[in-house]
Amino acid sequence: MADVSVRPARPDDAGEIARIQVETWRTAYADLLPPVVLDGLSAAAAEPVWASAITDAPSPRHHLLVAMEGEWLVGFVAFGPTDDLEADDPEPASTVAVAPMLVEPRWGRRGHGSRLAAATVDHARQDGMTRAIAWIPEGDEVTREFLLSTGWAPDGLVRALDTGAGELREIRLHTELG
């Protein structure tokens, strides 16, 4: 049986988190984003952003967790209090935003996503959060089906993001953490 775990990210994880983000987006979003956008992604550009998220989080309720299989960092999740709410959203002070939650495709279907999701819920509850939201690309059926299987549901909100080379439509999902 494989040695698997989830732990808080450490400063020396930033490069691998950036690499996983870029490689996973290039694979998972190849049909969702224009090639010019995917080609413009750079682990070198993302690494300092992730390093800052690890060493200088905006609050103690912002977290970056990594999934491990043996010595390999195979996925990650970032989450924290959200300020991206609608006027009629319930529980604004105790809503956490989850974005992104990624497992490198070659490590998929081994339970890493489920462990990341469970750790996210545990940490968010410890922080007093009662509700979670996540924006995902409308065409990302893998993430949508995974989240639906763990109790999330669409809440009917849709937004369009300008990628600089076209529009990416996202849907919002939510779940109660109680």
- pLDDT category at 75 given cuts 50, 70, 90 is very high
- pLDDT category at 178 given cuts 50, 70, 90 is confident
Q: Which of 19, 12, 170, 35 is nearest to 105 (CA)?
A: 19
pTM above 0.85, yes or no: yes
Q: How far apart are CA 136 and CA 92, in angstroms?
A: 20
Q: What is the tens place of the pLDDT at every residue in 109-145?
A: 889 999 999 999 999 999 999 999 999 999 999 999 9
Q: Which domains does the chain have, with CATH numbers?
A: 4-176 (3.40.630.30)
C-beta atoms surrounding 176 within 10 Å: 12
Q: Which of 131, 154, 129, 127 is nearest to 143 (CA)?
A: 154
